[in-house]
Copies of this chain bind each other. A is one copy, B any other.
Amino acid sequence: MHCPRVCRAVSALSRGALWRSRVQSQSTASSLDLSGIYPPIATPFTANEDVDYRRLEENLQKYQQIPFKGLVVQGSNGEYPYLTEEERVEVVKVIRKNLPRNKLLMAGSGCESTRATVQLTEKMVSAGADCLLVVTPCFYKGKMDTAALVHHFTQVADQSPVPIVLYSVPANTGLELPLEAVVTLAQHPNIVGLKDSGGDITRIALIVHKTSAQKFQVLAGSAGFLMAAYCVGAVGGVCALANVLGPQVCELHHLCLSGKWDEARALQQRLIEPNTAVTRGLGVPGLKTAMEWFGFHGGACRSPLRPLTDAQTQQLKKNFSDFLI
């Protein structure tokens, strides 16, 4: 694990060479098409908070009926900060085994330090990830300026054998990946897109505009502003709500792509309240509770996340009343 400096340098070099050869030979990074809808899947636990791989597999079976582009594993809704490194990798392995090859497996490999992120990235690729979602480090948020973040993501992208998707989620990290950093990083051949969960639509439009020469792909990080994001140039969405209302979110994608804006608007408007409920409203415990109502295994969260109170469950039910029979 603690291989000497020279060994790591060589290894980094060969890895850099690896993706460069890949890029040039067959599946270039920038050719990876991200467009479409992804549920950032939840991680089911047993009663004593162990990962419940059987229920995870059952969820995966059900997701195959829905026209998703792929799955995001260990986005914020996957409770990844509560998983050990071993669990993070094992979950990806299990999903790869159960996921048809024509579905993208985008795995979260972000850690606080650059070296840990590089190492986990490699493990995720070995476990079967097609591309990686890398969140902004955030603990020392006062120091995570454009220079630090460009350095971090460049190191990770240089050494990753598969393409990288940047991930900005200020509600959790307290930090928005600066627009200048995004525009700079979009020029890296192994960075293909951004999942933006902040929801600032002006910023999303400007990112699309300023990266148009790079075919950089923006994914909306929430179903709440999905239609508006398509409107200004996004190509897809990673939406917590797709864990619950997958067909509806995919339908919204389809309506936007086919220019049926009036129908899209009507559907978008109906999705906002359920979406808010399972994101900033009631968070992952809300998401997992709603999943149960729609035939998926949600179950409990790991502590310190707490189960919903009865009043919260009633509120959630009201927010989904439009979609519950």
Q: Which A residues fall within an 8 A CB radius of B?
A: 2, 5, 8, 47-50, 76, 81-82, 84, 112-116, 137, 139-144, 147-149, 151-152, 155, 171-174, 199-202, 205-206, 208-209, 222, 224-225, 227-228, 231-233, 259, 261, 265, 268-270, 272-273, 276, 280, 283-285, 302-306
Once the chains are docked, how many angstroms separate the CA of A81 from the CA of B137? 10
**Cα distance, A112 to B305, chains bound together (Å):** 10
| B141 x A174 contact (CB < 8 A) | yes
Minimum-distance CB pairs A-B, first 9: A174-B174, A209-B269, A152-B304, A82-B113, A114-B303, A202-B224, A81-B112, A231-B231, A228-B228
Point out the residues of chain B lying under 8 angstroms from A112, CB to CB.
81-82
> A151 contacts which chain B residues (CB < 8 A)?
303-304, 306
Q: Which residues of B contact A49 (CB under 8 A)?
A: 115
Best-surrounded residue of A50, A84, A171 (most CB of chain B within 10 A):
A84
CB distance from A249 to the nearest CB of B (A): 15
Given the complex of chains A and B, what is the CA–CA distance between A95 and B170 in angstroms? Answer: 36
A233 CB to closest chain B CB, in angstroms?
Answer: 6
Interchain CB contact under 8 A, B233 and A269: yes
B283 to A143, Cβ gap below 8 A? yes
13 additional A-B pairs beyond A8-B48, A152-B303, beta carbons within 8 Å, are: A81-B139, A82-B113, A114-B304, A141-B174, A148-B305, A155-B303, A174-B174, A205-B265, A209-B269, A209-B272, A228-B232, A231-B261, A259-B259
Q: Is the CB of B114 within 8 A of A302?
A: yes
Q: How far is the CA of A225 from the CA of B222 in the complex (A)?
A: 17
A261: which B residues are within 8 A, CB to CB? 231, 259, 261
A285 touches B143 (CB 8 A): yes
Distance in angstroms from A261 CB to nearest chain B CB is: 7
Q: How far is the CB of A255 from chain B (nearest CB, A)?
A: 12
Task: Tell me which residues across on chain B come within 8 A of A174, comparing CB atoms.
Answer: 141, 174
How far does the alpha carbon of A287 sit from the alpha carbon of B149 in the complex, in Å? 20
> In the docked arrangement, what's the CA distance between A305 and B304, Å?
28
Chain B residues with CB under 8 A of A303: 113-115, 151-152, 155
A227 touching B233, Cβ below 8 Å: no
Q: Which residues of B contact A232 (CB under 8 A)?
A: 227-228, 265, 268-269
How far is the CB of A282 from the nearest CB of chain B, in Å? Answer: 8
Q: How far is the CA of A2 from the CA of B143 in the complex (A)?
A: 37
Residues of chain B within 8 A of A152, CB atoms compared: 303-304
Which residues does chain B contribute within 8 Å of A225, judged by CB atoms? 201-202, 205, 228
| Contact across chains for B144 and A304 when beta carbons are under 8 A apart | yes
Asked whether, in the complex, the Cβ of A273 is within 8 Å of the Cβ of B137, the reply is no
14 contacts between A and B (CB under 8 A): A76-B140, A82-B115, A113-B302, A139-B172, A140-B283, A140-B284, A148-B306, A199-B200, A201-B201, A202-B276, A205-B225, A205-B227, A206-B276, A232-B265
Chain B residues in 8 Å Cβ range of A208: 269
Contact yes or no, A205 B228, CB < 8 A: yes
| Whole-angstrom CA separation of A273 from B141 in the bound complex | 21
Contact A269 B205, beta carbon cutoff 8 Å: yes
Point out the residue from B8, B114, B116, B205 that lies within 8 Å of A272, measured CB to CB: B205
